[in-house]
Amino acid sequence: MVVQVVDYRIDRRSGVATYLQIVQQTKQALRLGLLVPGDRLPTARQVVEATAINPNTVLKAYRELEREGLVAPRPGLGTFVLRTLAREEAAPDSPLRTELAAWAARARRAGLDRDDIAALVTAVVDEELRARPGGAAERDKGNR
C-alpha cells in the first residue's frame, strides 16, 4: 500500500477555520486524483509537526471527512481514503486542464499574480454557475 503524504498549508490570515482548510485541501487532493481509495492520510502528529497546529484541529478535520464518507479510521493503522472525488475531465492529461494551464500561463505573462488569477477564476466560475439553470447559486437559495 502506498502512503500518500498531503502537504497541508495553513493560512492563518485567510479567515477560514484551520480544520476547514485541512478538509478543503484534502478534498482538492481527492478531486485532482492525488489521493485515491486506499491511501493513508498523514497522521495527526505528522500534520501537527508540519503546520504547528493543535492535534485536536487535525482530528476535527478528519472527523468531518469521515462524516462525509470520504475517509475512515483504522485503529492502530491510520486514516484511509474510502472514495475519490476525481473526475476524468480534471485529470492531469485532460484537454480542459491543458487549456486552463495555457490560460494561466497567459495570465502570468500579462502580469497577474496568484491572487489575481484566483479571483478572476472564482468570479468567472461564480458567473457561470449563476447563469446556468440549476447552478449552485440557485441551489444555495434554498439553504438560506
Per-residue confidence band for 75, with pLDDT thresholds at 50, 70 and 90: very high
4-50 confidence digits (pLDDT tens) = 468 899 999 999 999 999 999 999 999 988 899 999 999 999 999 99
Interatomic CA distance for residues 23 and 60, integer angstroms: 9
Which of the listed CATH numbers 3.90.1150.170, 1.10.10.10, 3.30.560.10, 3.40.47.10 matches domain 18-81?
1.10.10.10
Per-residue pLDDT at 5: 60
Interatomic CA distance for residues 33 and 90, integer angstroms: 9
Q: Which residue blocks in 1-143 are alpha helix, DSSP H?
A: 18-31, 44-51, 55-67, 95-109, 114-131, 136-141
- Model's pTM, two decimal places? 0.73
109-119 confidence digits (pLDDT tens) = 999 999 999 99
CA neighbours within 13 Å on the CB side: how many for 72?
7
83-118 confidence digits (pLDDT tens) = 999 888 877 788 988 999 999 999 999 999 999 999
User: So where are the chain's domains?
Assistant: 18-81, 88-141
Cα–Cα separations (whole angstroms), residue 134 to 82, 89, 101, 131? 29, 21, 28, 9
